[in-house]
């Protein structure tokens, strides 16, 4: 029986419950299949193609996965992923020359056509910031992402005992900033089919974009000029705001520099743990952030409380499935804290093994979900068979964190 590429809910949703703000990483309308029933396969030559998709819309890009019935996972030349069922494809034409990625100018024009009226574009070398708020805020986001986060991200993986060369993004990286929560809510409702609730920012795996709203709106006096933004950022209430912005930008970089593969089965604890490893603000710095690896005292406090009644198999349940991270409430808070600390531990105590584990995960097939025993087996392959011994080392490390 030929299976179709899945085009179903639920959303691929991860929240950060204890920060005060909530962010998410979303794969819209995608459901990974368990590997024992998977029947999709990648084309041998991953052809660059032109698709004639109904109704009469031409798409340029690359087929990443093709189902036996002709459905495809398609990477557009603007960086967006599409799931196309066979009846939505009128024709496929292999191109002699690979269609180039959209230029920043072309993508800017496309963004302005897609977004509500009133948006403008602030561009940096690698980012396009579409905004309907004050330009000063868009400029601050652009400087934070381009001048701080991307440079620190690339330098960290290259120099921090990993020797991982982060690739340059194939597409301009897009951040969309709405002026207020109502306009952001309307966009989320349109894009995801449901209201955002407490989610104030998200990275969408399908569109490859970060969306947020101006979290400084209504704070300070007057318009959001540079001085007001810096003043707002020096206030303790800005901790979750800066954390959220860096967190989502880190997700975007992970999936655009070769360290993770979009729609492959990357464990949530790893994905979220790395984003949290990078997210901690530093308000001694002008941009509100210095670099990765600072102790996240909120996460640490949560974990130390959790260790008082922590089950012996806690590490194994975190590694084997995403259920604890998705559960909500206290269970999610504990799982997030443990994920942050586990990444902190592995990066600082097991950098070589962690590097090889990351590389292994990038080779996972798209749209295939691993069974729990596969996740455990993968982890043991790089960090050893004795998880109990590793867990004891991990807890000693956590107790020594300052």
Q: What is the pLDDT of residues 56-77, one digit of tens each?
A: 567 888 889 888 888 889 999 9
Identify any residues that bridge with 60 across adjacent strands, giving them in sequence order. 50
Q: Give the pLDDT band of residue 4 (cuts 50, 70, 90).
A: very low
Predicted confidence (pLDDT) at residue 35 exceeds the cutoff of 70: no
Which stretches within 167-206 are classed as H helix?
A: 181-192
pLDDT at residue 129, rounded to an integer: 98
Which stretches within 161-289 are classed as H helix?
A: 181-192, 226-233, 239-256, 268-279
Predicted confidence (pLDDT) at residue 45 exceeds the cutoff of 60: no
pLDDT at residue 68, rounded to an integer: 83
Q: Distance (Å, rounded) from C-alpha 16 to C-alpha 11? A: 16
Alpha-carbon torsion angle 334, 335, 337, 341, nearest 10: 130
Structural domains present in the chain: 17-28+102-400 (1.10.390), 40-94 (2.30.30.100)
Q: Give the pLDDT band of residue 15 (cuts 50, 70, 90).
A: very low
In angstroms, the first-to-last Cα distance of the chain is: 56
Q: For the range 312-316, what are the long-range contacts, defined as Cβ-Cβ under 8 Å and sequence gap of 24 or more?
A: 312/388, 312/391, 314/338, 314/391, 315/342, 315/387, 315/390, 315/391, 315/394, 316/376, 316/387
What integer best gives the mean pLDDT of the chain? 83
Task: Return the higher-pLDDT residue of 220 and 59.
Answer: 59
Predicted confidence (pLDDT) at residue 154 exceeds the cutoff of 90: yes
Using alpha carbons, select from 253, 100, 261 the residue that is nearest to residue 173: 253
The proportion of the chain whose per-residue pLDDT surpasses 70, expressed as a percent, equals 78
Output the furthest CA–CA distance in the chain (Å, rounded): 64
pLDDT at residue 17, rounded to an integer: 40
């Amino acid at each position: 029986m030929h299976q179709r590429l899945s085009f179903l809910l639920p959303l691929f949703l991860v929240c950060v419950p204890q920060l005060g703000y909530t962010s998410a990483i979303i794969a819209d309308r995608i459901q990974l299949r368990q590997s024992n029933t998977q029947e999709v396969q990648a084309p041998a030559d991953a052809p660059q193609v032109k698709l004639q998709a109904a109704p009469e819309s031409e798409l340029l890009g690359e087929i990443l996965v093709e189902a036996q019935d002709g459905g495809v996972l398609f990477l557009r030349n603007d960086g967006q992923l599409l799931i196309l069922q066979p009846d939505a494809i009128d024709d496929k034409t292999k191109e002699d020359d690979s269609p180039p990625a959209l230029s920043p100018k072309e993508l800017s024009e496309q963004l302005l056509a897609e977004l509500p009226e009133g948006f403008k574009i602030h561009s940096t070398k690698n980012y396009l910031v579409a905004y309907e708020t004050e330009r000063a805020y868009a400029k601050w986001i652009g400087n934070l992402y381009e001048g701080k986060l991307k440079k620190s991200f690339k330098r960290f993986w290259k120099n921090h005992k990993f020797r991982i060369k982060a690739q340059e993004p194939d597409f301009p990286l897009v951040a969309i900033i709405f002026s207020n929560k109502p306009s952001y809510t309307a966009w989320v409702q349109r894009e995801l089919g449901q209201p955002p609730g407490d989610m104030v920012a998200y990275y969408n795996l399908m569109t490859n974009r970060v969306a947020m709203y101006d979290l400084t709106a209504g704070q300070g006096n007057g318009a959001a000029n540079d001085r007001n933004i810096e003043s707002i950022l020096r206030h303790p209430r800005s901790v979750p705001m800066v954390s959220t912005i860096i967190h989502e930008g880190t997700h975007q970089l992970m999936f655009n520099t070769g360290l993770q593969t979009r729609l492959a089965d990357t464990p949530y604890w790893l994905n979220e743990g790395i984003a949290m490893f990078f997210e901690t603000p530093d308000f001694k710095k002008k941009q509100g952030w210095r670099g990765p690896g600072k102790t996240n005292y909120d996460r640490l406090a949560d974990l130390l409380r959790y260790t008082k009644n922590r089950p012996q198999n806690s590490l194994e349940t975190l590694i084997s499935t995403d259920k604890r991270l998705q559960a909500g409430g206290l269970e999610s808070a504990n799982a997030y804290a443990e994920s942050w600390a586990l990444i902190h531990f592995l990066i600082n105590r097991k950098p070589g093994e962690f590097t090889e584990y990351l590389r292994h995960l990038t080779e996972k097939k798209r749209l295939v979900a691993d069974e729990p025993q596969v996740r455990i087996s993968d982890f043991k392959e790089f960090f050893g068979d004795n998880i109990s011994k590793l867990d004891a080392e991990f807890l000693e490390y956590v107790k020594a964190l300052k």
